[in-house]
């Protein structure tokens, strides 16, 4: 299930929902991204996140499908927030259930890396002295490519 939303989310409740995926689940890997205080600018107070409604959901659904072809994925959950987010707020959640530990880790990291490299979200950093659009990092493009096809 994929949600793009302005509201915050409850990672603990999301984990419990993943855990309720049946007795064949032996492994749950989760990732949460938070707004942190050392972006491209000094004194960042928060972010503004814009996305391309419709395309975002399609791109992420495609990534979850690809992960499910490559690894044992019993259930996957992706939440990405948009709009204004303050320092330390949650931005993104990716959770994957699998029978096996290696598959849960790989699918979770793949979805997160590929989302970062290809889902149509854009971040603007907000600070006391102004705001600016974050530039894409070469390292994120590289991490997206590492997974190959």
Partner 1 sequence: MTEPTLTVRFFARLREELGTEQLTLPAQANQTAGDLLGVLASRGGPWAQLQGGQPVMIAINQAMAKPATPVQAGDEVAFFPPVTGG
Binding site for a second copy (CB under 8 A): 10-13, 15-16, 19, 23-38, 87-88, 90, 99, 101-102, 104-105, 108-109, 112-113, 116, 143
CB of 116 to partner 1, least distance (A): 4
In the complex with partner 1, the residue whose CB is nearer, 18 or 56, is: 56
Q: What's the number of CA atoms in the CB half-sphere (13 Å) around residue 141?
A: 4
DSSP notation for 80-114: EE-EEEETT-EEEEEEEEESSHHHHHHHHHHHHHH
In the complex with partner 1, the residue whose CB is nearer, 71 or 121, is: 121
In the complex with a second copy, the residue whose CB is nearer, 22 or 54, is: 22
| Widest distance between CA atoms in the chain | 53
Instruction: Using the structure block, give the residue that is written with the tokens 């994120």.
Output: 140
Site for partner 1 in 106-135 (CB under 8 A): 112, 115-124, 133-135
Question: Measured between alpha carbons, how far is 69 from 4 in angstroms, rounded to an integer?
Answer: 23
In the complex with partner 1, the residue whose CB is nearer, 133 or 146, is: 133
Q: 133 touches which of a second copy, partner 1, none (CB within 5 to 8 A by kind)? A: partner 1
User: Is beta strand 2-5 parallel, antiparallel or unpaired with respect to 75-81?
Assistant: parallel
Q: What token pair was written down for 47?
A: 């972010």
100 near partner 1 (CB under 8 A): no
């Amino acid at each position: 299930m994929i949600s793009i939303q302005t509201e915050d989310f409850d990672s603990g409740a999301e984990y419990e929902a993943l855990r309720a995926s049946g007795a064949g689940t032996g492994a749950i890997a989760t990732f949460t991204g938070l707004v942190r205080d050392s972006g491209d600018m000094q004194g960042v107070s928060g972010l503004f996140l814009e996305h391309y409604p419709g395309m975002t959901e399609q791109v992420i659904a495609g990534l979850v499908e690809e992960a499910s072809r490559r690894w044992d994925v019993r259930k996957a959950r992706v939440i990405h927030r948009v709009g204004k987010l303050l320092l330390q707020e949650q931005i993104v959640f990716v959770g994957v259930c699998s029978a096996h530990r290696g598959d849960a880790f790989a699918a979770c990291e793949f979805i997160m890396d590929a989302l970062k490299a290809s889902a149509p979200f854009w971040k603007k950093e907000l600070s006391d002295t102004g705001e600016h659009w974050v530039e894409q990092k070469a390292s994120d493009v590289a991490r997206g490519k590492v997974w190959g096809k």
